[in-house]
Amino acid sequence: MTIDTTPEAELPETGVPVAETAATLIGTGGEWWRSAVIYQIYPRSFADSDGDGIGDLPGITSRLTALSELGVDAVWLSPFMTSPQHDAGYDVADYCDVDPLFGTLADFDLMLARAHELGIRVIVDLVPNHTSWDHKWFQEALAAPEGSPERDRYMFRDGLGPNGDEMPNNWESVFGGPMWERTTRPDGTPGQWYLHIFDKSQPDLNWENPWVRERFHDILRFWLDRGVDGFRVDVAHGLIKEEGLPDYTPPADAGSMGGGATAGDSLVGLEPGIDAHASDDPPTPPYWAQEGVHEIYRGWHAVLEEYEGDRVLCAEAWVEPLTKLARWVRPDEMQQAFNFTYLSAGWSAPELRAVIDNSIYAFGTVGAPSTWVLSNHDVVRHASRLALGAENLQGAGIGPKSPGLPDPVVGLRRARAATAVMLALPGSAYIYQGEELGLPEVIDLPDSARQDPTWFRTNGEKYGRDGCRVPIPWAAGTPTYGFGPATSTSSWLPQPTDWDDLARASQEGVESSTLELYKRALALRSQNDLGTGELSWLEGYGPEVIAFRVGSVTVIANLGATPVELPVEPHLGDVLLSSEPLTEAALPTDTTVWLRA
């Protein structure tokens, strides 16, 4: 069968069951990443080996056995490379070394070797859109004259107006404030401006420059030579800007990371700009999703092809509609792209079913599996987000003064049910550290403890992402819940005082715990080959129920307000998994069950 790789491939009408045709488009390749469960480690918040309050690579190594027991196939590490840490490591000063905060290259090699011993693959975060202003490339650019080759590595521009005092255009930073910062010449006079989509400490690279492209091929090879299994590519849709850098004012309800309008009345709305119902391309901001990025990733694909094994590139690309996002994973580009349309879907059965259908179809048209994700280091944890009573913009976070704060009981029930749906879907699933413990967003962080640039650049109008980045708890009864050594008294972000019951050790072996739910779901997913199965919808359960079959497993999720009768009164052996206890032949609200087909 010929796979359509053109940008014009279109989705079916929303809600049309397409699995019986789309599943055949996914392909039959045996690459591990097609069905993998990948666990995101946020290094500074995972495990602290030396007691300085910040997680590190030796800490990760010490906890890999726990991830093996959980049942994941791979880990993705958020940035650990040399950085001044103005944006938690997403401002890289040296792409080929480890920041002393996290350890050394030798520590990385030991961690990688231990992961591979346990059968866990390792994906590292790569940040190609921008560097730190401490990077030697940028320091050389500042020291070089205007118009020099060194300046051409970045997006330097002359200002407007008689004295160049006006910014080159009107673009606004994702973190708030202008997207331009003016330089000062050696003689003290004002100089050119440089572009920074994010913080001013993160100048954007000029990806039209072949020198930049060649350096990143070298960086890819550096880590591939060490044995990494792939790369998660930060802001993969941002590298190329529209020629001429025209003025652009995004819609008031547009998401900071791209896309169009919010998803209607969705309770989530957390990535306005990702619309689960979108079928046409919305207006494209001149700094997002330009066609030229695809040539870059074809070059990266060729570099990975130089190495044995199934290496993977995964795009963080906030792009809609799904047919447009699928262009990132055409056969000669990346292998995966995060499905933010799925993450952004509201707690609604019709909406969720439409997103699942459209995801399988859109990615299938280019021979790629869909990915599924519910939480990460940039969004409100789904144990809180799914119970929010107000829209929450991506990156805005929530805090004590936010509207529509979540009911924690409702949030956890929905999170468990949502996870049980996600882990049954064909394709690859991503888990964010701590979600297997049912961790909620930390809402009551003191203002003095917040560190996200969004908090500072918006003068406290947006709380930012610190609430989902609080270090995770391993054991009860210590000041840092086992995050650090027994002598540790604090962590880089303060942990809540009521997390003893959420600690991993407290949940281990407790049948009703969220940890054991994840372990059972991952084991069943593997045993029943759900990641490589074909999905078919089951009808007759009502509008607020999702019911489907993958292989030998039937999945029924009740997203409505009233219990739903199950097809037959399930015998004990028929129930493989239930996100909440079943007491009779009815499925409670906000509950998912897996049954033998």
Interval 291-307: pLDDT, tens: 999 999 999 999 999 99
Instruction: Band the pLDDT of 253: cuts 50, 70, 90.
Output: low
Query: Would you say residue 14 has pLDDT above 70?
Result: no
**pLDDT score recorded for residue 270:** 25
3-state class (DSSP) for residue 21: helix
286, two tokens: 């001149």
Region 41-69: what's the mean pLDDT?
A: 98
425 within 8 A of 370, measured Cβ to Cβ = yes
Q: How many residues does the chain have?
A: 597
3-state class (DSSP) for residue 10: coil
The whole-angstrom separation of Cα 593 and Cα 596 is: 10
CA of 578: how far to CAs of 288, 381, 420, in Å? 41, 21, 8
CA torsion 316→322→325→329, rounded to 10°?
Answer: 100
Query: Would you say residue 260 has pLDDT above 60?
Result: no
Interval 156-207: pLDDT, tens: 999 999 999 999 999 999 988 999 999 999 999 999 999 999 999 999 999 9
342, two tokens: 């799925």
**pLDDT score recorded for residue 345:** 95
3-state class (DSSP) for residue 222: helix
Region 115-133: what's the mean pLDDT?
A: 98
Instruction: Band the pLDDT of 566: cuts 50, 70, 90.
Output: confident
**pLDDT score recorded for residue 496:** 98
**pLDDT score recorded for residue 221:** 98
3-state class (DSSP) for residue 1: coil
Instruction: Band the pLDDT of 29: cuts 50, 70, 90.
Output: confident
Region 536-557: what's the mean pLDDT?
A: 96
Query: Would you say residue 229 has pLDDT above 60?
Result: yes
Instruction: Look up residue 554 and give its DSSP letter.
Output: E
Query: Would you say residue 317 has pLDDT above 80?
Result: yes
Query: Torsions phi, psi of 203, nearest 5?
Result: -65, 135
**pLDDT score recorded for residue 349:** 98
Number of other residues whose CB lies within 10 A of the CB of residue 491: 22
**pLDDT score recorded for residue 432:** 98
**pLDDT score recorded for residue 306:** 98
**pLDDT score recorded for residue 393:** 83
Query: Torsions phi, psi of 557, nearest 5?
Result: -125, 125
Share of the chain above pLDDT 90, in %: 85
* Domains of the chain with bracketed CATH: 24-131+210-514 (3.20.20.80), 136-195 (3.90.400.10)
Least Cα distance to 555 among 538, 573, 543, 580 occurs for 538
Annotated active-site positions, please?
234, 306
Least Cα distance to 177 among 458, 463, 462, 465 occurs for 458
**pLDDT score recorded for residue 395:** 87
Q: What is the mean pLDDT of the chain?
A: 91
pTM of the model: 0.92
CA torsion 442→379→453→284, rounded to 10°?
Answer: -160
3-state class (DSSP) for residue 140: helix
Task: Give the DSSP letter string of 443-494.
Answer: ----GGG---HHHHHTTTSS--SGGG-SPPP-SSSSTTTTSS-TT----SSP
Pairing outcome for strands 553-558 and 545-550 = antiparallel
The residue assigned the tokens 């330097």 is 156
Those residues whose C-beta lies under 8 Å from the C-beta of residue 586, and which sit 6 or more positions away, are 563, 564, 565, 566
Share of the chain above pLDDT 70, in %: 89
Least Cα distance to 289 among 274, 279, 308, 300 occurs for 274
266 within 8 A of 388, measured Cβ to Cβ = no
Pairing outcome for strands 553-558 and 190-195 = unpaired
Region 6-20: what's the mean pLDDT?
A: 37
140 within 8 A of 150, measured Cβ to Cβ = yes
What's the CA angle centered on 234, arms 231 and 239, to 5 degrees? 115
Interval 269-298: pLDDT, tens: 223 344 444 445 567 899 999 999 999 999
Q: Which residue has the higher pLDDT, 278 or 98?
A: 98
Number of other residues whose CB lies within 10 A of the CB of residue 33: 25
Query: Is-cis flag, bond preceding 149, omega within 30?
Result: no
User: Can you point out the beta strands (E) in 324-424?
Assistant: 336-337, 371-373
Query: Would you say residue 27 has pLDDT above 80?
Result: no
480 within 8 A of 488, measured Cβ to Cβ = yes
Number of other residues whose CB lies within 10 A of the CB of residue 286: 18
Interval 409-465: pLDDT, tens: 999 999 999 999 999 999 999 999 999 999 999 999 999 999 998 999 899 999 999
